[in-house]
Amino acid sequence: MSDVLILEGIRKGYNHGTPGEITVLDGLDLRVGRGEVVALVAPSGAGKSTLLHIAGLLDTPDAGRVEIGGEDVTGLNDARRTATRRADLGFVYQFHHLLPEFSALENIVLPQLAAGVSPRAAGARAEALLTRVGLAHRLKHRPAEMSGGEQQRVAFCRALANAPKLMLADEPTGNLDPATSDQVFSVLMEVVRETGLSALIATHNMELAGRMDRVVRLGDGRLG
């Protein structure tokens, strides 16, 4: 009942133009509990992105059920899926994907304005989030004026801007040097714990995976 993400019997395949179809996910089951942080470990090509896209409502499975925050979202139309994605999910990618012409603060204000938050409240929340991750001195900086670690901390704040139920992260520190990766991951985990956020975080880094609540491994289309 308290699971924030439920994937049940997920199947997904791609037809590469040959008679045989490639099965990427083959009856995959996964649950992420409220406040739980799960590490997703997968060799390249195993279907990690496919899984994150399905959990993130960016793609639909061929079969199976997806539940987010207690709501079955499997059969929803595009508009309802987009609404659920905006309200309940936060994304962090390997590359920051911040808007280059906007400041750190503005990058976190904009998604809140899109969700109907007032400019004043959005600005206050953006400043509080950036301050929490140690970037109070970078509010007005644009992405190009920040280091890789700072950019990822801003991207993390953006994911949290609308207080999602679940964070989906794809190698969030994979592009950083080991020391910076460790720092960014530490602050990310602190904030996740403080806010009680649930998270599914894909990583190749077994040391980071070991700092999460549970590790699931993707292979042969299922989790082990």
Stretch that binds ligand ADP, among 45-53, 96-104, 126-134, 179-187 (CB under 6 A): 45-53
Decide: is 154 part of the binding site for ligand ADP (CB under 6 A): no
Tokens read off for 222: 């299922």
What percent of the residues of the chain are helix, what percent strand, and what percent coil, each to the nearest 5? 40, 25, 35
Stretch that binds ligand ADP, among 47-55, 79-87, 133-141, 174-182 (CB under 6 A): 47-55
Closer of 150 and 171 to ligand ADP (Cβ): 171
Decide: is 10 part of the binding site for ligand ADP (CB under 6 A): no
Min separation Cβ 39 and ligand ADP, Å: 14
List, in sequence order, every beta strand (DSSP E) within the chain. Answer: 3-15, 21-33, 37-41, 63-68, 71-72, 89-92, 166-170, 198-202, 214-219, 222-223
Decide: is 49 part of the binding site for ligand ADP (CB under 6 A): yes
Decide: is 45 part of the binding site for ligand ADP (CB under 6 A): yes
The single residue among 44, 77, 78, 144 that binds ligand ADP, judged by CB under 6 A, is 44
Cβ–Cβ under 8 Å, residues 192 and 199: yes
Min separation Cβ 202 and ligand ADP, Å: 8
The single residue among 4, 38, 47, 208 that binds ligand ADP, judged by CB under 6 A, is 47
Tell me the C-alpha distance between 21 and 66, whole Å: 23
Stretch that binds ligand ADP, among 1-9, 40-48, 139-147, 173-181 (CB under 6 A): 40-48
Decide: is 94 part of the binding site for ligand ADP (CB under 6 A): no
Per DSSP bridges, beta strands 89-92 and 198-202 are unpaired
Size of the site for ligand ADP (CB under 6 A): 12
Decide: is 60 part of the binding site for ligand ADP (CB under 6 A): no
Tell me the C-alpha distance between 105 and 129, whole Å: 9
27: left (phi over 0), alpha (psi -120 to 50) or beta: left
Tell me the C-alpha distance between 35 and 5, whole Å: 11
CA-based radius of gyration for the chain: 18
Decide: is 160 part of the binding site for ligand ADP (CB under 6 A): no
Footprint on this chain of ligand ADP (rule: CB under 6 A): 14, 16, 22, 24, 42, 44-50
